[in-house]
Every structure is written in C-alpha cells, then in structure tokens.
Amino acid sequence: MEQKSRKPVVVSGMQPSGPLHLGNYLGALKNWIDIQNSGKHDCFFFIADYHSITENYDPKEKKEQAFELICEYLAAGLDPEKSTLFVQSRTPQCAELAWIFNTVTPISELERMTQFKDKSSKQAKNVNMGLFDYPVLQAADILLYHGSLVPVGQDQVQHVELTRDIARWFNQKYKKEYFPLSQPLLMPLAKIMSLHEPEKKMSKSAGEKHWLGIDEEPEMIKKKLSKAVTTPEGIKNLKSIYEAFSDKMGGPFDEKQMAKTKETIAHGLADYFSDFRKKKKEWKKDRSSVEKILEQGRKKTDEIADRTMAEVKQIIGLN
C-alpha cells in the first residue's frame, strides 16, 4: 500500500500573514528554491492557511494574504513545473488525517512542544486548541504526501521528530509499515534578528520597524536600516545580513562607520531583490495564471491525498 516515489519527497509550507521578511527568505524560501533546482527531490510547497487561523487575524485579509504569498513563492523562483505549489485548505484531507493522528499521539508529547509555549505567550487571550494541536496537523501535512524529508533549521527539528514519532506510533498500532519515518533536511540558516531588538528573531508581529520585507522599495529599505540599532548585538545582526547577501554588497562592512555600512547594505539588498519586486508585481496583476497554478497543484495533491486516506481508512478499519 505504501506510495512510492522515484525521488525523496520534500514537504514544507509557510503561513500567509503578510509580506515575507528577510528571515522568512533566508530561513525557508531560498533553501526551498535550492532544493527544487537540485532536481533530486519531489517537492511540495504550500500555503499553510489552516495553521494561520490559530493566531489572531482579520478574516477579511486572509484570502489576499494567501494570494500574496503564492506570488512571492513564484517571484522568488519556485517553479510549478518543478514543484507542486498549493493551498493547504484546498486539500482538506490533511485535517482528516490529523484527526486520525490525534488518536495515536500522547497528550504528554504535545505538552512539551516549545512552539506551543512560545505562541501562547504571544496571544495569551487566544490560547486555542489549534495552537496545542498544531504539530499534529503539521505531521499530517507531511505524511499525507508520504514526505520523507522536511527542510528545517535546528530550531524546528523537534517538530520533525514528532512527525517521525507519529508515523511510528501509527505503524506500530496498526502493525503496518505504511508511513515513512520523516527526517529533517537541515538547511544552512542565517539567523536574522529584529532591527530594533536584535536579541529577538525578526518578526512582523513585533511591529513595522522590527522587520525588513523582501518586497520593500529601495527608499524604505534605506530608511529602516538607517534606524537599526548599533549595539554589539545589533552590529552582529547587520553583519549577518551583510554576509548573507555578500555577492551584492558594493563595499566593506566597517563597524567604525556604521552609517556608511548601513547604506552599503541597503543598496545591496535593493539590488538583490530588484528582480523579485518586478516579478511579484507582474504575478499580482495576473491572478488568473496564479489560480491555474494553484488548481494544478490542487489536482495533484487531491489525487495523492484521496489515495492516502483510502488506504489509511482501510488500515484502521473504517473501509
């Protein structure tokens, strides 16, 4: 019954919650493009809209946020001819599989997940069950397509370990080696921190001055960087940004002349993302083409998901 692929299956996604920032790009999107272009994997990259509704959000904005994110995927270089691109909620079998996985996942394992504690602290008035159960849905996202590799940084390894555990618990309970034991595909990461609180990761939730969007116009990039703090941690963060885009930097990183160094970084970033900005605008104007790509992705994921769920239901005695 186990589905076979000639190549290892890679699955990953991002939540639609507004424009991507430097941390999102270096921590995920750039790596996905490298994986895709290696030609060594069968790639599935999705818009994690089910995951995004566990956080505080405006329902009126969610659809456009999802559309903007897929445009950013495409503008950055994800290719629908090389990767399957799709919206999570349009293949809702992931939620059905997550329910089945809930029946083999001990509560104690979810209670120790660090991301639940972190997210709960940021939205103390909205600590919902979705936040707690987030890792199980994440496991379903991966295993629905029999994902064997998940591109992550070291701070996300815990979630991949749980996905592997859930696959093992399912296989053991039903005495069937059905799901693969997914492994983390550790990626080189430049840890990008807040421009104003460099002891914290760059995040949109902290406020506009803390993050730098990859679609921002040159003047805004320059303005935000000019106000970035230059404490020892701040300088270290700016140096990380400089080094991550070193090929585009037209001058040295001089800690004694940080105003000039910030201008160098601003020019370098504006140059690096100039093609991205242009392509994103083009994709946003061509909504019909974007929808065709998403429909193409939905058809492929639906076919795999239907087969997986039919086989799972047979294994657990519902078919």
Written as one string, the DSSP assignment of 196-214 is S-TTSB--GGG-GGG--BT
Are 26 and 245 within 8 A, CB to CB? no
Are 219 and 200 in contact, with CB atoms under 8 Å apart? Answer: no
Our answer to whether residue 201 is catalytic in this structure is: yes
Q: Which of 122, 191, 201, 300 is catalytic?
A: 201
Give the SS3 label for residue 47: strand
d(CA 205, CA 118): 13
Residues 6+ away with beta carbon under 8 Å from 298: 86, 87, 90, 91
In angstroms, rounded to a whole number, what is the distance separating the alpha carbons of residues 85 and 56? 25
Cα 223 to Cα 263: distance, rounded to the nearest angstrom: 9
Annotated catalytic, 227? no
239: CB partners within 8 A, 6+ apart: 253
The SS3 assignment for 183 reads strand
Instruction: Given the residues 176, 191, 204, 209, select the one marked as catalytic.
Output: 204
Distance CA(228)–CA(224), nearest Å, equals 7
Residues 170, 104 contacting (CB under 8 angstroms)? yes
Helix then strand then coil, in percent of the chain rounded to 5, is 60, 10, 30
281 is catalytic: no
State phi, psi for 284 to the nearest 5 degrees.
-65, -25
Q: Is 286 helix (H, G, I), strand (E, B) or coil?
A: coil
Q: Which of 119, 224, 262, 280 is catalytic?
A: 119
Catalytic site positions: 119, 201, 204
